[in-house]
Amino acid sequence: MVLTEARWPGRLAAVGCAVFLALLVMMAHPFAELGVVDDWSYAYSANVLAETGHVVYNGWGAMPLTWVLYWGALFIRLFGFSFFALRCSMLLVSMATVFVVHRTLHRSGISEKNSTVATLAILLSPPFFSVCFLYMSDIPGMLALVLCLYGVLRVLETGKEASATNWLVFAAISNTVLGSTRQIALLGVLLMVPAAAWRLRRSVRFRVFLPVWLLCIVGVLGLLHWFAVQPYTVREGLFPATRVWRRLGLLVRVPVAWMFHLAPLMVLFLFSLRWRDRRLRIGAGIFAAALVGFYFLLIWMADHGQYVLILPYLRDTFTPRGFHDLAAPMGEEPVLLGLSLRVALSCLTLLLLTGAAVYLLFPGLRAAGVPPVRERIRRGQLRWILLPFFLAYSLLFATRTIPFDRYLMPLTLLAGIAVLRFLERNSGWRNAFIGVVAMVVLLGWMDVSLLHDEFSLYRARVQAADQLVRAGIPRDHIYGGFEYDGWTEIEKTGYIKDPRLKLKPGEQAFDPTLEWVGFPGPFYTRGYMPSIIPDYVITHSLYPTLERSSFPDVTYRTWTTPGTWPLMVARMKQPRKKQP
């Protein structure tokens, strides 16, 4: 193999990874009493649960949330309501997820040190890091799936009938309970657990396992039915996207994006090549010259409006304007990841992709390896259990209305398992420590900087809105951005007017014709949140229908592109009227 099996206390390494995540998050100074992305909706439900004891939805989320709401309500009861308290509760869940990811990687047959490398790569991947401190369902859903996978791997590892049955029961129950927060997370009990039971049917006590599994299935069906009949829940079909063939580009974009998101892991391909081979060194020199040309080609393409080969390759998390710029306030938000940096990162991605391709296509150029210490789980067993889950999850991801990159986190773990098991079987590497540390430092700097910049902007938005409220401006007369307006709409009417809601007669529904004259607001101002009257607008820049107000600008600082940026409080030039 590669990096030795023993000497590292594995559980301590897993704890170290979890603590490392928390330290990185706190370095970003992530303090802002405002919702981020979707967590304002879930925070509102958690607060209602803490005050009334009832689970109440508000027209935005399409997930049951279940234990996540109770977990958040516990922190509200202990510390009072604040977004920071709720996000700290989710940081603990993220740390637990990192710990379980590390142990799951090791149980899949990967050495302790390599499991640490893969865990660092996963926690530093922008889709994971960007939501690890947000009160959302992505990380809890991943925890449910990873814990289920851990139980299934223990089933494959054990040779005793009683132990195998116990671990299967654990996997089924844990996934049913924890996966109840997010429907797609229930694929563990629906697919992984029965696949493992069938694969090891001679080692499982079905008279014990089968009743438990059937009860779990009944519980899943009961949860889905209960959630479907709750007021103000968003109903999304199993395959909401109609033109799935347009998503075929994901087959290319996802693996390429993984090359960068998992850079600390993918760089091992380069260090697994036999660099003493003269042909490889000559080819590397030619490629280095071509890479310089590729850099200037991308710059030229960007000057002509072509960005298809430039990072980012997937939507939502990692964007030129930072994390989650889809929910940004109005105006021209500053570009935090400049063109030169994104082109350089695209060249790095091409380098990692080329290294992986050379390794896979030319076995003669692989460095000599050492046989694994022990083969815990055979390849055939792992494929049998994970392939149905992988295919089902991939299909559901590709058919989402908007396939956000953070939805890929469970598949990212499977990619890490596949890469490291393949590398450990086929080669060894030397001096990989330097490359791994370099990638960890690069992604760590980017993650911390982007998270800091995101919360710096949100603090400025809160400060700008607060000065309006202190001056007596009603909150519903302020356009404060997606999260601010969403909270205002719920406080005033109880729910967001999503077109997918099933409402009672007489309740206000989504109105696609609703629009503000001369107000170039984003999609959600047109029917989703009709209570918002944008007399005052928090914006990065002025539009023809806006003018400066008497309120001063608010500034915020960014680290990714060092600088100080203004956030204006503008007002409409004349009274606005709704226009059908």
* Domain match, 152 and 71 both: no
Is residue 66 one of the residues assigned to a domain?
yes
Query: What pLDDT does 241 receive?
Result: 55
Q: Which tokens go with 142?
A: 């991943």
* Domain match, 104 and 154 both: no
Q: Which residue intervals of 186-267 are DSSP H helices? A: 187, 193-199, 206-228, 250-261, 263-266
Domain count, the chain: 4
Write the CA distances from 70 to 73, 143, 447, integer angstroms. Answer: 5, 16, 29
Range of the domain at 563: 451-579
Model confidence pLDDT, tens digit, residues 54-83: 999 998 888 899 999 999 999 999 999 999
Query: What pLDDT does 159 receive?
Result: 65
C-alpha atoms less than 13 angstroms from C-alpha of 235 in its C-beta half-sphere: 13
- DSSP, residue by residue, 504-532: -TTS----TT-EETT----GGGTTT-TT-
* Domain match, 118 and 31 both: yes
Look at 395 and 577; give whichever has higher pLDDT: 395
Look at 504 and 344; give whichever has higher pLDDT: 344
* Domain match, 487 and 550 both: yes
At 521, is the pLDDT very low, low, confident or very high (cuts 50, 70, 90)? low
Region 244-271: mean pLDDT is 82
At 516, is the pLDDT very low, low, confident or very high (cuts 50, 70, 90)? low
Residue 576 has pLDDT above 60, yes or no: no
Query: What pLDDT does 50 receive?
Result: 95
In one-letter notation, the amino acid at residue 513 is: T
In which element (H, E) is residue 546 found? strand 546-548
Query: What pLDDT does 577 receive?
Result: 52
100-118: b (≥16 Cβ within 10 Å) or e: bbbbbbbbbbbbbbbbbbb
* Domain match, 82 and 125 both: yes
Using the 3D structure, point to which of 365, 391, 424 is the last residue of a domain: 365
* Domain match, 328 and 269 both: yes
- Label the pairing between strands 563-572 and 536-539: antiparallel
* Domain match, 465 and 574 both: yes
Going by C-beta distance under 8 Å and a sequence separation of 6 or more, which residues neighbour residue 223? Answer: 64, 66, 180
Model confidence pLDDT, tens digit, residues 531-560: 888 889 898 888 888 888 889 999 999 999
Is residue 238 one of the residues assigned to a domain?
no
Query: What pLDDT does 244 receive?
Result: 61
Q: Which tokens go with 346?
A: 């695209």
Region 557-565: mean pLDDT is 92
At 580, is the pLDDT very low, low, confident or very high (cuts 50, 70, 90)? very low
Whether this model's pTM surpasses 0.85: yes
Tell me the C-alpha distance between 109 and 375, whole Å: 6
Among the residue ranges 38-42, 325-329, 361-365, the one predicted with the least confidence is 325-329
Q: Which tokens go with 243?
A: 């033109």
Is residue 395 one of the residues assigned to a domain?
no
Is residue 148 one of the residues assigned to a domain?
yes
In one-letter notation, the amino acid at residue 96 is: A
Is residue 1 one of the residues assigned to a domain?
no
Query: What pLDDT does 303 receive?
Result: 87
Using the 3D structure, point to which of 136, 154, 170 is the last residue of a domain: 136
* Domain match, 557 and 470 both: yes
Q: Which tokens go with 79?
A: 């510390």
* Domain match, 224 and 280 both: no
Of 59, 21, 102, 23, whose CA–CA distance to 508 is shortest? 59
Tell me the C-alpha distance between 191 and 175, whole Å: 11
* Domain match, 126 and 143 both: no
- Three-state SS at 396: helix
Is residue 566 one of the residues assigned to a domain?
yes
* Domain match, 264 and 280 both: yes
Is residue 429 one of the residues assigned to a domain?
no
Phi and psi of 408, rounded to 5°? -85, 0
Using the 3D structure, point to which of 231, 263, 289 is the last residue of a domain: 231
Model confidence pLDDT, tens digit, residues 408-417: 899 999 999 9
In one-letter notation, the amino acid at residue 437 is: V
Residue 422 has pLDDT above 50, yes or no: yes
Tell me the C-alpha distance between 496 and 60, whole Å: 6
Do 93 and 39 contact (CB within 8 A), yes or no?
A: no
* Domain match, 567 and 542 both: yes
- Three-state SS at 578: strand
Is residue 322 one of the residues assigned to a domain?
yes
Q: Which residue intervals of 406-493 are DSSP H helices? A: 409-426, 432-470, 482-493
Integer-rounded Cα Rg, in Å, for the chain is 25
At 147, is the pLDDT very low, low, confident or very high (cuts 50, 70, 90)? very high
Model confidence pLDDT, tens digit, residues 4-16: 444 457 789 999 9
Among the residue ranges 111-120, 201-210, 267-276, 451-460, the one predicted with the least confidence is 201-210
Do 430 and 270 contact (CB within 8 A), yes or no?
A: no
Tell me the C-alpha distance between 430 and 427, whole Å: 10
- DSSP, residue by residue, 222-244: HHHHHHHTSTT-----SS--S-G
Region 163-187: mean pLDDT is 93
Residue 370 has pLDDT above 80, yes or no: no
Do 461 and 567 contact (CB within 8 A), yes or no?
A: yes
